[in-house]
Chains A and B, each alone.
Chain A
C-alpha cells in the first residue's frame, strides 16, 4: 500500500508539473498574439505541454532513484520534473539560455540531465533503444539500477519500440516501457492507427508482462509501476505498462484542434488525476491546510524557476560552434606517436 507520505510527494510532483505547464503556456504566448507566429516570443519553436499526463510521470518515477535511467519523448516536462531534473536549469534551457543543461542548444524536446540520468528525444519511439542500452549496461555492470522508456500510444506502432521490446526480453534486461495513452497522436485518434485498443497487449508478442491502468489515477499507476520496476530491479526482466492519461492543451501550442470533438476535450478535462489524488489525500486524513501548503510550495518553485531562467544570459552566437565533440578532432593527431617513438620500423 502506498503511504500517506508518498501520496503527498506524488501530489506535489503533479501540481508542480501542472502549474509549470500552465505558466509555460502563458510565457510561450508572449509575443505570439494576436497573430500566432511560432518563431516569436521568449520561447520560440514547438512546445508540447503535458497537462493531463501528470499521473504517469509521478506514479512511475516515485519508484526511481537518481541512478535509474529515464528516456522521455517530445512531451517530457512532467517526467523530467518527476525524475528530479533541476527545474531552474531545465527552464533556462526551454528559454534558450546559456545556463540550461544544454547551454541553449537543445530546447524543450532535447533535455538532458546526466546527474539524474534523464534524456529525451523528439523522434517518435527513438528513446526506447537507448533505454534498453541503459538496462544492458546495468546488467553488464552488475548494478541494480533500471531503465524506463516513456512514449505515447501513437509511438507503439513504430519499429524502434517493437524491436526494443524484443531485445529487452531476449536479454532479460531491467527495462520498463511506459506508454502514455492520451487517445490522440496529434490529430489521429487511436482507432484510426491501430486495431488493438489495449496497447499493453503488445507485450504478449514478446512474452513479457503487460499491464494497462485504465483510469487517470496516480495511485493505480504507482501500484502497477511498483510491480514492473520491482521486477526489473530484481533482475526478472522487462515489462510494459500502459497508462491512460489525457491531453488538456492540444498537441502543441497553437494547435487549433479543429479535428477534436468538443465532447472529447470536455471529457478529458473531467478526468483530472490531480483532483482524484486530492480526494485520496483527504481519505488518508491529509487536511486542507496541508494540501494548500503543497500547492503553494509547488507554485513557488515554478515561479522561482521561471524568474531565475529569464534572468540568465542568452548564449553568444559563436557558442554554436562548440560541443559537436567532447574531444575536438584536432586533438587526435596531436597525440599520435611517431613510429620511432613506438620502437617500430625506422
Chain B
C-alpha cells in the first residue's frame, strides 16, 4: 500500500495533542479551515480536541456555537459547499440524533444527489466510547451507524501517530469525513489513557491514506481485527496469549469507510481464524461486516470465527454492568482461545 508515513520520532504526544497539531497546521496553511463546536474556544474542547487553538487563531476561527447541533452542523455543510473547509465538532457522538438529518441527508448525500457537481469538504469530529460509567446517552461509539450510511468517510484513530496523519488527510479530503476519537485514548488528565495511544509523532506534516489498515502485531495463529480503544485491549490480550502458545495477529482498521478488506483477507488466508472485536453494538455492525467481507471471498480460508462486541443492550451505568457489556481483555482472550480450539 502506498503510504507517506515517515519514521516515528522520539518526541511523543498524547492523541489529543497530535490531533490538535494537525488542525493547527492546516489552519495556518489554509484560511478556509475553521473549527466550530460547543466549548471549543475557552474550554479547548471537553476532551481537549481544540486545546490551545483559541490562543493562536482567535474566536473567529475557533468558534463556540449555541447548543443547536442541527444549525451548526448544517452550517458546516453549507459553508463547505460554498468553498470553505469547516471542522465541526459534535461533543459526544451520542448527540447525533438531534442533528441526524444534516449529517446523513445533507452532508452525506449532497455529493451523490448532485451527480458530484457539489462537494462537501468538511470534517465532523466527535468523541466516542465508554469505560467511565457515563451511562446509555454518553458512552456509545456508534461506529456501525455512521459506516452504514453511504457518503461519509469514517475515521477512527487509535494512536497519536495515526491521529495526526489521519487528521491531515481528513481536512484535505474533498469529501465529508467523520473523525471519531475515543475519549479514553485522548490522554485527558481526568480520564487516564492506557499505555498504547501516546506515541512518537513527527513534527512535520504527513498523511495516512484512508483505507489502509495497520497490522499492529504479526502472528500466525489467529487474526484479531479491531479499532479504537480495543486495538490496545487486543494487543494486551495477544501478549498474554503467548503464554498459551497462541500467536495472534492484530489489525487496526483505522478507517471504516473506506474499509481495507484486503489486509484482513490476506491475514486470514494465513491464520485461518478470525476474531473481530468492536466496542459498538453487535447486531448489524462492524463485526458482522468484517466477517461477511472475509467470507464472501475467502470462505474456504475460514476455520473459525468469533465476534466480541457490545451485546444489544443500551450501555448501563453501574460499574459491574458496564464492565460486563464493554469487551475487556479477558473477553478477547476467551474468544481467541475458542477460535483456536
Contact B64 A188 (CB under 8 A): yes
Bound-state CA distance A126–B189 (Å) is 30
Contact A105 B321 (CB under 8 A): yes
Given contacts A315-B318, A316-B320, 8 further A-B contacts (CB under 8 A): A37-B192, A96-B318, A106-B317, A107-B134, A122-B138, A159-B70, A315-B316, A320-B321
Contact A45 B320 (CB under 8 A): no
Contact B43 A38 (CB under 8 A): no
Chain A residues near B322 (CB, 8 Å)?
320
Main secondary structure of the interface of A (DSSP, over half): loop
Per the 8 Å Cβ criterion, residues 94-147 of A in contact with B are 96-97, 102, 104-107, 109-110, 121-126
Distance of B71 from chain A, by nearest CB (Å) = 8
Distance of A145 from chain B, by nearest CB (Å) = 27
Chain A residues near B320 (CB, 8 Å)?
314-317, 319
Q: Which of B38, B135, B192, B316 contacts A109 (CB 8 A)?
A: B135
Q: Which of B94, B95, B321 contacts A317 (CB 8 A)?
A: B321
Most B CB atoms within 10 A — which of A45, A110, A258, A321?
Answer: A45
> Nearest chain-A residue to B95 (Cβ)?
A123
Is A318 at the interface (CB under 8 A from chain B)?
yes
Distance of B225 from chain A, by nearest CB (Å) = 25
Most A CB atoms within 10 A — which of B66, B321, B323?
Answer: B321
Chain B residues near A125 (CB, 8 Å)?
67, 98
Chain B residues near A159 (CB, 8 Å)?
68, 70-71, 98
Q: Known contacts A123-B98, A159-B98, A188-B39: does B311 contact A321 (CB below 8 Å)? A: yes
Q: Which of B46, B133, B313 contacts A45 (CB 8 A)?
A: B133
Is B292 at the interface (CB under 8 A from chain A)?
no
Is A267 at the interface (CB under 8 A from chain B)?
no
Distance of A164 from chain B, by nearest CB (Å) = 13
Contact A107 B321 (CB under 8 A): no
Contact B39 A109 (CB under 8 A): no
Contact A122 B137 (CB under 8 A): yes
Bound-state CA distance A81–B184 (Å) is 33
Distance of B291 from chain A, by nearest CB (Å) = 23
Can you report 28 A-B residue pairs in the complex whose CB atoms are below 8 A from each other?
Answer: A38-B191, A45-B133, A45-B134, A45-B317, A46-B134, A96-B318, A104-B316, A105-B135, A105-B317, A105-B318, A106-B135, A107-B133, A107-B318, A109-B137, A121-B137, A124-B98, A157-B66, A157-B71, A159-B71, A159-B98, A187-B64, A188-B39, A193-B64, A254-B190, A314-B318, A315-B316, A315-B318, A319-B316
Contact A107 B317 (CB under 8 A): yes
Bound-state CA distance A317–B136 (Å) is 16
Contact A185 B67 (CB under 8 A): yes
How many residues of A are in contact with the other chain, CB < 8 A? 48
Contact with A along B179-221 (1 / 0, CB 8 A): 0000000000111100000000000000000000000000000
Chain A residues near B132 (CB, 8 Å)?
38-39, 44-45
Contact B138 A155 (CB under 8 A): no
Bound-state CA distance A122–B95 (Å) is 10
Contact A185 B134 (CB under 8 A): no
Contact with A along B62-97 (1 / 0, CB 8 A): 001111101100000000000000000000001101
Per the 8 Å Cβ criterion, residues 71-108 of A in contact with B are 96-97, 102, 104-107
Contact B133 A187 (CB under 8 A): no
> Nearest chain-B residue to A318 (Cβ)?
B324
Contact A104 B137 (CB under 8 A): no
Is A36 at the interface (CB under 8 A from chain B)?
yes
Contact B137 A123 (CB under 8 A): yes
- Chain A positions near chain B (C-beta within 8 angstroms): 35-39, 44-46, 96-97, 102, 104-107, 109-110, 121-126, 154-155, 157-160, 185-188, 192-194, 254, 258-259, 314-321, 324
Distance of B51 from chain A, by nearest CB (Å) = 11
> Nearest chain-B residue to A320 (Cβ)?
B321
Distance of B191 from chain A, by nearest CB (Å) = 5
Distance of B70 from chain A, by nearest CB (Å) = 5
Bound-state CA distance A143–B50 (Å) is 51
Contact A160 B189 (CB under 8 A): no
Contact A259 B43 (CB under 8 A): yes
Bound-state CA distance A186–B98 (Å) is 19
Bound-state CA distance A37–B260 (Å) is 36
Contact B190 A36 (CB under 8 A): yes
Contact B189 A324 (CB under 8 A): no
Chain B residues near A45 (CB, 8 Å)?
132-135, 138, 317
Q: Which of B68, B138, B311, B321 contacts A104 (CB 8 A)?
A: B321
Is B244 at the interface (CB under 8 A from chain A)?
no
Contact B64 A192 (CB under 8 A): yes
Bound-state CA distance A186–B42 (Å) is 10
Contact B321 A37 (CB under 8 A): no
Bound-state CA distance A106–B139 (Å) is 12
Is B131 at the interface (CB under 8 A from chain A)?
yes
Contact B70 A155 (CB under 8 A): no
Per the 8 Å Cβ criterion, residues 278-318 of B in contact with A are 311-314, 316-318
Bound-state CA distance A159–B67 (Å) is 9
Contact A186 B39 (CB under 8 A): yes
Contact A104 B318 (CB under 8 A): yes
Q: Which of B71, B311, B319 contacts A314 (CB 8 A)?
A: B319
Is B246 at the interface (CB under 8 A from chain A)?
no
Contact B317 A104 (CB under 8 A): yes
Chain B residues near A185 (CB, 8 Å)?
38, 67
Chain B residues near A154 (CB, 8 Å)?
66-67
Is B325 at the interface (CB under 8 A from chain A)?
yes
Q: Known contacts A110-B135, A110-B136: does B318 contact A97 (CB below 8 Å)? A: yes
> Nearest chain-B residue to A107 (Cβ)?
B317
Contact B66 A193 (CB under 8 A): yes
